[in-house]
């Protein structure tokens, strides 16, 4: 058994986090501390850029239970009688310690919107962690580590992404949209009123339609019938639909319908040449010859130029701060769901 060092101090927050930036738990080995099993630090340019926009709280389950760095690599083992284990080279099982630490993180930071984790780690790997059967030297497959498993049980609404996935434009887009939408929703719950809920639905309508029209219609019916619910029932019913909707994937066809819907609020202010330009952009987007950001930039610019408040207030044009795109462009990475 590897001798455990003194654990890092674990302090409870004095107040619940109510900051303006989404609260994210991030693996400490990503740009923060040399705490990996081999004593290294992982350089993640996207995670470094997002420090400016997200409120990070770092974690390392293995270090925080007292394991040194460097240290022998841990192995995730699936047994038939005792379930999952995380073994040291001498066979000592650390699974319970790591699970307890994971639960402590989630209880302490119970207002997080997401997690950025180092993939393949037995404690933090989201889906790519190798696991073994007892006595076997070759991996039996890949699965989730301890922290993602506990997050799925205790905080299923939190969005998980690995450091590797941050470099994927599609996965990065969904991560940003989901954490910022959840942050706005959590803020609404803290200062709830039926009028605020109606405004939330109205400002997100076009964005939500891109994900799933049927769920948007069901959200609308709940809001229309809100007098039948008490506040807790109303929040729970709407939140369940919101969680479901944010797990959906956009399609190019649905998104074109959303863009055309938005364009309908703008078209009366445009001349013939501007309308033709928009149609050219739509055609190029439909054929995959241009990214969605070019269309969004055009609509956002024209909406502000013509002062079309409906579109300016719609979250589908800016589901997260657009300045993030400018910062990510420095590393030639732009979120794009298509």
Whether 287 and 205 share a structural domain: no
Nearest to 199 by CA among 314, 296, 319: 314
Nearest to 176 by CA among 255, 238, 116: 116
Q: How many domains are there within the chain?
A: 3
Radius of gyration of the chain (CA): 23
Whether 85 and 156 share a structural domain: yes
Nearest to 114 by CA among 175, 165, 67, 187: 175
Position 9 in a domain: no
For residue 222, the model assigns a pLDDT of 94
Separation of alpha carbons 283 and 162, rounded Å: 34
Whether 41 and 68 share a structural domain: yes
Alpha helix locations (H) across the chain? 45-50, 61-64, 95-108, 146-154, 169-190, 194-211, 213-224, 231-246, 252-264, 272-286, 292-306, 309-312, 323-329
Whether 71 and 153 share a structural domain: yes
For residue 2, the model assigns a pLDDT of 54
For residue 8, the model assigns a pLDDT of 43
Whether 91 and 161 share a structural domain: yes
Q: Last residue of a domain, which of 246, 272, 305?
A: 246
Whether 163 and 193 share a structural domain: no
Separation of alpha carbons 25 and 112, rounded Å: 7
Position 115 in a domain: yes
The greatest distance separating any two alpha carbons of the chain, rounded to the nearest whole angstrom, comes to 75
- pTM attached to this predicted model: 0.92
Whether 108 and 31 share a structural domain: yes
Domain boundaries, position 192: 171-246
What are 87's strand-pairing partners?
A: 75, 93
Whether 314 and 180 share a structural domain: no
Position 15 in a domain: no
In 10 A of CB 300, how many CB atoms?
18
Whether 41 and 157 share a structural domain: yes
Return left, alpha or beta for 135; rule: phi > 0 is left, psi -120 to 50 is alpha, else beta.
left
pLDDT digits (tens, 9 = 90+) for 65-100: 999 999 999 999 999 988 999 999 999 999 999 999
Whether 192 and 269 share a structural domain: no
Whether 30 and 158 share a structural domain: yes
Whether 142 and 105 share a structural domain: yes
> Element (H or E) spanning 75, and its range?
strand 75-79
Position 192 in a domain: yes
Which pLDDT tens digits describe the chain residue by residue (338 residues)?
A: 555 544 444 344 434 666 789 999 999 999 999 999 999 999 999 999 999 999 999 999 999 999 999 999 999 999 998 899 999 999 999 999 999 999 999 999 999 999 999 999 999 999 999 999 999 999 999 999 999 999 999 999 999 999 999 999 999 999 999 999 999 999 999 999 999 999 999 999 999 999 999 999 999 999 999 888 899 999 999 999 999 999 999 999 999 999 999 999 999 999 999 999 999 999 999 999 988 999 999 999 999 999 999 999 999 999 999 999 999 999 999 999 99
Q: Which of the 8 DSSP states describes residue 93? A: B
Position 17 in a domain: no
Both tokens of 95, joined, read 């699974």
Separation of alpha carbons 217 and 205, rounded Å: 10
Q: Last residue of a domain, which of 131, 148, 167?
A: 167
Position 92 in a domain: yes
Position 150 in a domain: yes
For residue 19, the model assigns a pLDDT of 77
CA atoms within 13 A on the CB side of 191: 8
Side by side, the strands of the sheet bearing 23-27 are: 55-59, 23-27, 114-117, 159-162
Q: Last residue of a domain, which of 167, 196, 222?
A: 167
The three-class DSSP label of residue 101 is helix
Position 8 in a domain: no
Separation of alpha carbons 99 and 119, rounded Å: 17
């Amino acid at each position: 058994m590897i001798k455990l060092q003194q654990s890092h101090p674990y302090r409870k927050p004095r107040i619940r986090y109510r900051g303006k930036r989404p609260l994210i738990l991030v693996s400490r080995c990503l740009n923060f501390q040399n705490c990996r099993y081999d004593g290294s630090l992982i350089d993640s340019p996207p995670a470094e850029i997002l420090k400016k926009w997200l409120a990070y709280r770092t974690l390392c389950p293995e270090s925080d239970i007292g394991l040194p760095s460097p240290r022998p690599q841990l192995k995730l083992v699936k047994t038939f009688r005792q379930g999952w284990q995380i073994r040291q080279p001498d066979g000592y099982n650390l699974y319970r310690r790591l699970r307890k630490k994971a639960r402590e993180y989630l209880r302490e930071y119970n207002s997080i919107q997401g997690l950025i984790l180092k993939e393949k780690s037995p404690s933090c790997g989201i889906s790519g962690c190798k696991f073994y059967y007892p006595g076997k030297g070759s991996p039996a497959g890949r699965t989730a580590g301890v922290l993602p498993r506990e997050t799925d049980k205790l905080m299923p609404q939190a969005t998980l992404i690995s450091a590797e996935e941050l470099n994927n434009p599609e996965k990065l887009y969904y991560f940003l949209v989901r954490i910022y939408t959840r942050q706005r929703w959590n803020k609404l719950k803290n200062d709830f009123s039926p009028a605020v809920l109606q405004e939330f639905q109205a400002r997100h309508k076009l964005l939500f339609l891109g994900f799933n029209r049927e769920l948007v219609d069901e959200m609308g019916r709940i809001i229309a019938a809100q007098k039948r619910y008490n506040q807790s029932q109303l929040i729970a019913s709407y939140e369940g639909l919101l969680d479901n909707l944010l797990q959906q994937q956009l399609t190019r066809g649905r998104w074109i319908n959303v863009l055309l819907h938005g364009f309908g609020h703008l078209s009366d202010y445009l001349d013939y040449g501007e309308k033709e330009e928009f149609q050219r952009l739509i055609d190029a987007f439909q054929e995959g010859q241009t990214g969605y950001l070019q269309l969004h930039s055009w609509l956002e610019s024209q909406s502000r130029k013509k002062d079309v408040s409906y579109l300016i207030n719609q979250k589908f044009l800016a589901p997260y701060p657009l300045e993030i795109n400018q910062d990510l462009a420095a590393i030639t990475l732009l979120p794009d769901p298509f």
